A and B are shown apart, each in its own frame.
Chain A
């Protein structure tokens, strides 16, 4: 069924290509991304497929290395969010009662914060770099996953096979990890792909504002920041990073949607 979904395939191809570019950046990029060459603000040409920026750096190479940044931030941030979300959500959902109340109120409070302002506030206090960007994004986006996991746990723990596990003597820990978690993957995976899309957007916004990845390390977001003064003279400086951000986010949405569709009818017995 997944094979039929053209958008899913498209998204998957884009993601795989971007991942390969990210991993093999040093072999694929034609130039060093910080290398300053003579020909500044050149439009796309044979020697510079995406042109050069205001400092004469090759945009293609910066895009490739920038991709590495954006994707690694997305992956690590989501990993942090998933870890926190699954831990918190499973405890709340499995044990219920007071635990659940306290945890969910805390989650509600976190959700009521306008996250972007929270991140901005944190980043303006710390000295922003790629590492704290990853952690901050992860630490402010676990709430949706926690809610999701809690919901899954609340319904799954009433299922008969969980009761059966209890009857044969399984400990709570075993039930959580062996029985309930493996059956709650589908919505979590989908949330993960959407989370990655969100992380890319957030990192781009932060870097655009100067609170994310710092130059000279390229990120699609800070390339947008650099391009602001040159929108009329060198539109490619803005359009190209913007296009890549859009492609990455769209691909993640398509893949997430495709996964959601295919993982659903499995339960139909």
Chain B
């Protein structure tokens, strides 16, 4: 069952072409990865899916309709995606009040593995990982169907990345979310996703199931990406 159909989407900023005829679909309940380097257009595509930017050409069809309640996003930079003048409670209560829902803030914090006492804190009192957990809590508070994660762990230390990714996996399983994960790190994509689209220069150059793409990449760019991953030294 397709949830989102991206049809021939192109985006120009002035004369700069950022997306070129992109088409693929995301199934309901799946975890889909969008991988590419800077300039690949993946972030712009994410914004278009979230209706934060309009496409220049093409359209996106949402089989079950689109609403801000059902489609939520977690941003890359935990330092800039939270309003510095609002405390945690205010940040989490805002989407709830907009969509007329009531939730216990303490329980919501616990669901992202934070103590309820964090409710009174301000973003500058929190670490990067903690802020990102708040970002996740904000997004899932209104029980969306679809979650877009735009490089959710690239700004975080490696030791915390694993924790946050595990949290996202847990939440996805318990809430039955459809997830679109945007990242430049192939390892992160493999850890989280079932299917992947590789983007370069605004185009999708390869798409398929993770295992197949990673084991038998067809596109030379995909091969280059896979080769560029630094590895730990083998056991001697």
Mark A residues whose CB is within 8 Å of B.
159-161, 163-170, 174, 178-179, 182-183, 267, 269
Contact (Cβ within 8 A) A161 B80: yes
Do B68 and A169 touch (CB < 8 A)?
yes
Residue of B nearest to A166 (CB): B52
Known contacts A269-B79, A269-B124: does B84 contact A167 (CB below 8 Å)?
A: no
Complex CA gap A165/B52 in Å reads 11
Is the pair B85, A159 in contact by a Cβ cutoff of 8 Å? no
CB within 8 Å of A: which B52-88 residues: 52, 68-69, 72-73, 75, 77, 79-85
Given the known inter-chain contacts A163-B52, A163-B75, A182-B85, please indicate yes or no for A168 contacting B94, CB distance below 8 A: yes
Tell me the minimal C-beta distance from A182 to chain B in angstroms: 5
B80 touches A167 (CB 8 A): no
Interface of A is mostly: helix
List chain B residues, Cβ under 8 A from A169: 68-69, 95, 98-99
Please give, as numbers and ranges, the residues of chain A lying within 8 Å of B139 by CB-CB distance: 168
Residues of B within 8 A of A178 (CB): 94
Q: Are A168 and B142 in contact (CB under 8 A)?
A: yes
Q: Is B50 an interface residue (CB 8 A)?
A: yes
Q: Is the CB of A164 within 8 A of B138?
A: yes
4 shortest interchain CB distances as A-B pairs: A169-B68, A168-B95, A160-B80, A160-B81
Closest to B75 in A: A160
Q: In the bound complex, what is the Cα–Cα distance between A104 and B79 (angstroms)? A: 32
- Across the interface, which residues of B come within 8 angstroms of A159, CB to CB? 80
A168–B83 touching, CB < 8 Å: no
Please give the distance in Å from B44's CB to the nearest CB on chain A: 13
Tell whether, in the assembled complex, residue A164 and residue B68 are in contact, meaning their CB atoms are under 8 Å apart.
Answer: no
The 15 sampled A-B contact pairs (Cβ below 8 Å) are: A159-B80, A161-B83, A163-B52, A164-B75, A165-B83, A168-B72, A168-B94, A168-B98, A168-B138, A168-B142, A169-B98, A170-B94, A174-B98, A182-B85, A269-B124
